[in-house]
Amino acid sequence: MSEYRPLTRCVHSGGYLDEKVGGVTTPVYTSSSYRFSESGGEVLYPRYYNLPTQKAVADKMAALENGRTALVVSSGMAAISTTLVALLAAGDHAVIQNDVYGGTFHFLSELSRLGIEYSLVRSQDVRDFAAAVRENTRLVYFETPTNPLLKVVDLRAMAELGRTKGLLTVIDNTFATPINQRPLDYGIDVAAHSGTKYLGGHSDLCCGVVVTRPDLGDKIAETAINHGVVLGAFECYRLERSLKTLALRVRQQNVNALALAEFLAAHPRVKRVYYPGLPDDPGHETAKRQMSGFGGMFSVEIKGDRETARSVVNRLKLFTHAVSLGGVESLVCFPALTSHAKMPAEEREKIGITDALLRFSTGIEDPDDLIADLGQALAG
């Protein structure tokens, strides 16, 4: 499907047409037991990720990310943890961006328990990642844009670091989605997603995806099989259905987020807006080079303390105060209390996650309605 554009790939890549009845959607294979073939061949079993319903959605994600293989698992953290455990062993060292998703940061203690060392880099500059490389370094892990401060890392430079140092490069591409950014095109080895967010897109599905090249895909799949982080048949069906509208949803969310970020950046009650689509954002030029859209996420520091920010949230009508992100409805949350609650307070402060920081996930509503809602909440 490489000759087609993202809108077309969302609809037509992957998928499995049932020749028996002629349906145009992938059938849901619910059986956990399949007849054994005496003549040999592949043994079908849900935990082996080899059923048509599982393969259909994996093939669609591989096409969207321009990857060679994809694996669909039970959650975003399953995608991240399985990848890191598969690619690292006791005695290895990893270089990891410090301002990653809070759940990922919390998982790092598990790496230590397995005898895997890691260094945290408090920067988006690839030169600082390079300075942290040791003789036993095997992997670099990062996000771009980051959660929740939307910092941007140069994908091409990071891929070059991996090539020159002989390191694997792994990115959490959740915020960007393959509609806005395809890291493998720049030479990144692995792209992981919390599919619970934009890929599912309707706040009713928990899943994760890993996209990579074939040799790494087999290694990650083997670990996933051993850990049993399989996604059920109905969830695979719902994820594939959601992916068909991914490009449409993300494009509207891009439009909405930019409009809201511009409005808030000019508002007297706002201290700062974090969004790479704004021309004065530190990551704007890099984001322009490697992203086709700036995404539906932005964060805002309200002038005042947590109670000031909370009063704004309480007056919002169209933004639901809720965890997670990437759905068709607009959400707002305090990262210090949700996504990064498991990160020690001193670490949050070091990377700029204050108690008054609000993270917004824009939905697909009319942007003028969302702007009006923010305006009345700030004016209260």
Catalytically active residues are: 47, 101, 172, 197
Dihedral over Cα of 272, 325, 182, 167: its sign: positive
CB 376 within 8 A of CB 315: yes
CA dihedral sign, ordered 156, 352, 259, 175: positive
Q: Could you tell me if 73 and 230 are in contact, meaning their C-beta atoms sit under 8 angstroms apart? A: yes
